[in-house]
A and B are shown apart, each in its own frame.
Chain A
Amino acid sequence: MRRQIPLLITFVVGTLLIVSVFIPPFGELETTFNIWFDIIAVFAFFLGGGNLLRVHIDKLRKKKRDWPFSIVTIAGFVVMLAAGLFKINNPGDIASAVDAPGSLFSDIFNSVQYPLSATMYSLLAFFVASASYRAFRAKNREATLLLIAAFIILLGRTPFGVLVTSWVPDSTSLLQIPNMAIWIMNAPNLAGQRAIIIGIGLGVISMSLRLILGLERSYLGGEK
């Protein structure tokens, strides 16, 4: 029973959602189920957030490696949670948006979380360069094609590309790099994308069916 009921739930819910596309009065099931998902996700956070706290308190208690940083994590979590849940310093009262300008919550976000997030994101620039240097090699025919396409797009989307081939007469304008870049985007790139996208669509259908039919059930855990 412990396994049958969940399998049944998956089957019924999955089938209902598929059928709802064809039955207008069921059209809003999708909406309802999505709200349910959002609500479940909040409850799940009690588990996730609790786990985060547990891991770091544990680190602290056992004085594991780098334990002092756990204090910072716990403090950050608690402060931000308090600022958000109690809407500390929010203009107006509890009815205002949690991230209303001027609140402690939005101040911490802007002065701490934003710079961190943006910087972490910007590390990509460095990694792109190191990957370009180390890994993008014309090792074989496939890799060579990848490189050539990348090159033309890179050039074509920058002012260099415009300069390099601006002497090409307009009658053969396709040979100007920016136009070549556009053509690559619109033809071969599009073709590759389509093949991948159609493939993904079929992969999703097949996997979804396996899940709905209960062939794939590892996420339901063991018998105990």
Chain B
Amino acid sequence: MTTRTKEIIALVAVALFVVIFYIRKVAGRGAIEFPTWLSMLVILLILASLLWILVLTIRGRLIERRVVFLYVGIAVALPLFMSLTQKISVSPEVKQLYDAIVELPEGSKVLLSFDYDPPSAPELQPMAESIIRLCLQRDLKLIIMGLWPQGPQQANLALEKVFDDEDIAAKNLQYGVDYVNLGFQSGNEFVIQRMGGSFQSMFQSDYEGTRYEDIPLVRNVRNFSNVDFSVNFSAGFPGTVEWVQIAVDRFGLDLGAGNTAVQAPQMYVYLNAGQLNGLLGGMSGAAEFEDVADYRAKGTKFMLSQSFAHAVAIAFILIGNVAFFMSGRKSRLKGD
């Protein structure tokens, strides 16, 4: 069989898979959930194939990168069908952020800056949702903005989601009075700089086009000194670093942050120096926050799949190294 034929067969198989399951969905059938025995079997199979990869690698053959890719795809996808529970331990920086929020008096103004775009949403969206939920539950006022063009849109998605909750919906919160979305402003860190003088100079109107001075919630908010706390959801530049360097260092803003896991390690410097008041890092930060706020949502749901993915990454490092030592450190492994 030529490669070409194999490729065509694979493509047809994928197409068939899609058609079958799409029809199933259209027919109104719900989600698939594995029974426990199947979950166990899948876990066993994944472990067994890891062992097989280990053996192959020790024999001096690096498996092809495409096999690694396929393996990762499977290990991430299958756990989404399982339902096992797991224990979560809450890190101090997560608790710190939670405490900072719950210690705010009712009616305090919280500034939320959405500095990320959809690609980072799997990590940051669950955080944003639980922080918004917590703030609204505690009757804090939300001022939302974004330094990334698509940030405010993400904020609206999160708000929609939170408003689906009965207890939040029951509060009958009013736009412009209890929360406001000022929208995106380009200019990166310099937006923060100018907000130090006046919010209005950067946001003449909100996302919906209402003039700043006509919005009851922010009418009297001149600059950072009128904000009680702020949280920045950040996926890179401009983000937490700029908020710390300008808003915290120059204007004394009280800032907590939600970061992608990749960014979070850099923030410990600021956390440690007291420039940051609390930090959520990555999906586990989100899950921990959900745990401490006692509201299980998306972050917790994805944790199992994520744990699997981590196990796989760890396993690959281990396999690589075991093979490296067993085959003698000097003979270098070849492969693509």
- Residues of A that sit less than 8 Å from B by CB: 28, 30-31, 34-35, 38, 92, 95-97, 99, 101, 106, 109, 114, 117-118, 120-122, 125-126, 128-130, 132-139, 147, 150-151, 154-155, 157-160, 162-163, 178, 182, 185-186, 189-190, 193-194, 197
Question: Residue of B at shortest CB range from A96?
Answer: B209
With most chain B CB atoms within 10 A of its CB, the pick from A95, A135, A158, A193 is A158
Given the complex, which residues of A lie within 8 Å of B153, measured CB to CB?
Answer: 99, 101, 106
A125 touches B76 (CB 8 A): yes
- Minimum distance in angstroms from B45 CB to a CB of chain A: 18
A130 touches B87 (CB 8 A): no
- Minimum distance in angstroms from B254 CB to a CB of chain A: 21
Given contact pairs A154-B310, A193-B265, A117 touches B316 in the complex (Cβ within 8 A):
no
- Residues of B that sit less than 8 Å from A by CB: 62-63, 65, 68-69, 71-73, 76, 86-89, 91-92, 117-121, 149-150, 153, 156, 183, 186-188, 190, 193-194, 197, 207, 209, 261, 265-266, 268-269, 272, 281-282, 284, 303, 306-307, 309-314, 316-317, 319-321, 324-325, 329, 335
B187 touches A35 (CB 8 A): yes
Given the complex, which residues of A lie within 8 Å of B320, measured CB to CB?
Answer: 132-137
Q: In the assembly, what is the distance between CA of A136 and CA of B155, in Å?
A: 38
Given the complex, which residues of B lie within 8 Å of A117, measured CB to CB?
Answer: 117-119
Contact of B307 among A28, A134, A159, A194 (CB under 8 A): A159
A129 touches B272 (CB 8 A): no
Contact of B68 among A133, A158, A160 (CB under 8 A): A133
A193 touches B186 (CB 8 A): no
**Which 7 A-B residue pairs are closest in the complex by CB-CB distance?**
A34-B190, A121-B119, A133-B316, A132-B316, A118-B119, A126-B69, A159-B86
Given the complex, which residues of B lie within 8 Å of A151, measured CB to CB?
Answer: 314, 317
Given the complex, which residues of A lie within 8 Å of B194, measured CB to CB?
Answer: 31
Given contact pairs A130-B68, A159-B307, A97 touches B207 in the complex (Cβ within 8 A):
yes
Question: Residue of A at shortest CB range from B283?
Answer: A157
Q: In the assembly, what is the distance between CA of A125 and CA of B207, in Å?
A: 34
A193 touches B118 (CB 8 A): no
With most chain B CB atoms within 10 A of its CB, the pick from A126, A133, A162 is A133
- Minimum distance in angstroms from A86 CB to a CB of chain B: 18
Given the complex, which residues of B lie within 8 Å of A135, measured CB to CB?
Answer: 320
B209 touches A95 (CB 8 A): yes
A134 touches B265 (CB 8 A): no
B190 touches A132 (CB 8 A): no
Contact of A193 among B121, B268, B317 (CB under 8 A): B268
A31 touches B317 (CB 8 A): no
- Minimum distance in angstroms from B17 CB to a CB of chain A: 18
- Minimum distance in angstroms from B329 CB to a CB of chain A: 8
Q: In the assembly, what is the distance between CA of A38 and CA of B187, in Å?
A: 7
Given contact pairs A30-B190, A193-B269, A132 touches B313 in the complex (Cβ within 8 A):
yes
B86 touches A130 (CB 8 A): no
A197 touches B269 (CB 8 A): yes
Q: In the assembly, what is the distance between CA of A189 and CA of B268, in Å?
A: 9
Given contact pairs A125-B76, A137-B324, A190-B269, A97 touches B209 in the complex (Cβ within 8 A):
yes
A147 touches B87 (CB 8 A): no
Given the complex, which residues of A lie within 8 Å of B118, measured CB to CB?
Answer: 114, 117-118
Given contact pairs A95-B209, A159-B307, A185 touches B265 in the complex (Cβ within 8 A):
yes
Given the complex, which residues of B lie within 8 Å of A31, measured CB to CB?
Answer: 190, 193-194
A136 touches B317 (CB 8 A): yes
- Minimum distance in angstroms from B63 CB to a CB of chain A: 8
B69 touches A129 (CB 8 A): yes
